[in-house]
A and B are shown apart, each in its own frame.
Chain A
Amino acid sequence: MFKNMAWSQPPNEDDHYINKNVNWVGKRFYVFYVFVIFVGAYLANVVLGTTVLNSFQVWTLVHVIHGIINFTVMHYVTGVPADLDNDEFHELSWWEQLDDGVAWTPMKRNLMIIPVVLFLVVAYFTEYDPMYLALNLCVLALVLLPKMPQFYRVRLNSSASFDEDDPTHPHSS
């Protein structure tokens, strides 16, 4: 089981075409990310929280929207917005392109911690109400599971869309 895991393969020193899609992630990006979440939460609270929704719903909404955007941008969309890479990253999502697919690098750890901390903050502010907690937990699972190295190159829509002759595919087709 372990030989297909991302961390057990030695990092590929050869090449690389510097993947400009992912090489810009750094400390400033994390600060920006957290900053945007808080600004978004504050704006949602001001705009929606005082008029349409109650406080629990605003926090849950922020968490759900963050989860959807996170999943779409980092795990659903594949490829690179440039045609200079010989289609090397055509089937790889943004997360899988990060750090050449090596798992548990500092950047990846930070990007995993942020949704967890957000979940805890939201759970606290919704006072652990079971319904909202269940919804938030589902969204957290949606966001956190694809980041696990066990899910490297795993696609759950249909196995027909996957490369049939890809040796790193852990499931039999």
Chain B
Amino acid sequence: MCKVKEQAQAEYMQQNLRTTPRMRSRTKSISDLAEPAQSSIVQFSTYYIYVCAVLIGLWYDFVDLILQFWFGLSLTMQQLTNVKPLIFLGDPFYWCFDDCRASRLWNCLNNVVSSTPGARIEVVQRKRNADGSVELLDTTRKCLNLGSYNYLGFADDWQNTCRDRVMKSLDEFGVTTAASVVSGGYTSVHKELEESVAAFVGKEAAVCFNMGYGTNQTAIPAFFGKGCLLISDTLNHTSIVNGSRASGATIRVFKHNNVEHLESVLQTAIIEGQPLTHRPWKKILVMVEGVYSMEGEVCELAGIVSMAKKYKAYMYVDEAHSIGALGATGRGICEYAGVDPADVDILMGTFTKSFSGMGGYLASSKEFIDYIRSQSMGTVLAQSMSPVVAQQILTALRIIDGKDGTNLGRQKLQDIRDNSNYFRKELIRMGLQVLGDEDSPVIPVMLYVPTKLSLFHELCMERGLAVVCVGFPAVGLNGSRVRFCISAGHTRKDLEDAIEKLREVADILMLHYNNSALG
């Protein structure tokens, strides 16, 4: 599987593009939040835009305050300008930033879709009225879907592959279990799903939750508490951060993908012990993700696992974006990085991305999973997964594993790898600044200037591409980007068309940051 990577890299170097030195060592450059790889002028324009937005918002609030002071609530800025703000509630002075952002990026946020998230998606058109509110129109537009997490294309061929089995289980079990896992919501489908997932990732046992975010949020506090140490990567997802905070354990961070820094954090922690008492830690857990969704980067799992083993810390890998997408047979980051799953203590993943389902799982040794099943609020109090969804995931898993007797799973995995590599290569060849590593299906392209987010979305929608633009505060201030998610359902022709359209959009918006300073 590394051959595709090497070939692509060799070809890319051969093109002799003008790359900044940072571009060549991708894992160390742009993902480090403090160091952008943009020219000063572009960064000045970013600062200028944010300063203007904040000052205009503050001035609006100030005038509103003065008006209320003089006239009472009978005259507010809203009445004066006849424009309703899109966001009403929040902290009085900082909601203005939220409203500034929501008003200016209204076309990127809250898009309504009216079809399955396959390779093509129907987006309901909206328009903005004169008084500021956003209204849905009756027309829809069928666009190429470059934003949904439909990695293996199950949303496209669901009618042929999964429908029969899923509908059968709908008749057998109904839509909901109406109970939590421990109190009656555990059907034979759930049991089979957990056993299949455990066998798929190479662990003894697994437990499934109804919500992917909720898996992290409820499972980490179940096992780790005060006196434990959680060492997590800087760029970990919010669900991991929130779950860690909810647990009450001490949290330290190590620099993204930086094995040396992880070693120093581990050494310091073990030598110093707990904060005030200096007693030894009860447990130390190192938490990383397989593929980081905002950067498209793959984790350096081999180095991190060896470091954790050396200092006898536990390992937790969140494979939300990598299960079913990385690795020759889709077994995730462990297979891709060549790490034995027995070396990673807890493997967590979600079913939303590659399996076209919903929910998450935790896979580990049998004792740990039994403990989690009885102690975690996600299994004790939250409702268990719908049997229909569980059957869908089971069917998808069987296809990926090849157990249904066809070659479809292998074909899908090959397709997504080829598609992502092709798309990434073409974008780099165009001169756009693309983050992330080869083979990852998430492809972020830097826009830097926040006003380009809204215009990029509009131009793409005109040309029939549905994209997801990400800005502050989901990413850093200087890190506005558009994130493409490639799927196995895309054909090569789809991607070629998309590249042509993106070429036009990139020319209009001046996005070739790799070729020149101003793009």
Contact = CB atoms under 8 A, between A and B. Distances in A.
A31 B40 contact: yes
A45 B163 CA distance: 72
Interface residues of B, number: 33
A14 B33 contact: no
Nearest to A24: B477
Contacts, number: 72
Given A17-B241, A18-B33, A31-B40, A81 B47 contact: no
Given A32-B44, A72-B58, A73-B54, A15 B251 contact: yes
Interface string A77-96: 11111101010001000000
Contact of A15 (B34, B47, B253): B253
B55 interface: yes
Nearest to A72: B58
Interface string B476-519: 11100000000000000000000000000000000000000000
Given A14-B275, A32-B47, A86-B245, A73 B33 contact: no
B405 interface: no
What range describes how many residues of A lie at the interface?
A: 20 to 34
B473 interface: yes
A28 B51 CA distance: 14
Given A14-B275, A79-B94, A82-B473, A69 B478 contact: no
A81 B473 contact: yes
Given A20-B477, A73-B58, A86-B242, A28 B33 contact: no
B98 A81 contact: yes
B172 interface: no
B200 interface: no
Interface in A20-36: 20-21, 23-24, 26, 28-29, 31-32, 35-36
Given A73-B55, A78-B93, A86-B242, 12 more contacts: A14-B250, A20-B33, A24-B33, A24-B34, A24-B477, A32-B47, A77-B93, A79-B93, A80-B473, A81-B94, A81-B98, A81-B101
Interface of B: 33-34, 40, 43-44, 47-48, 51, 54-55, 58, 91, 93-94, 97-98, 101, 234, 238, 241-242, 245, 250-253, 275, 472-473, 475-478
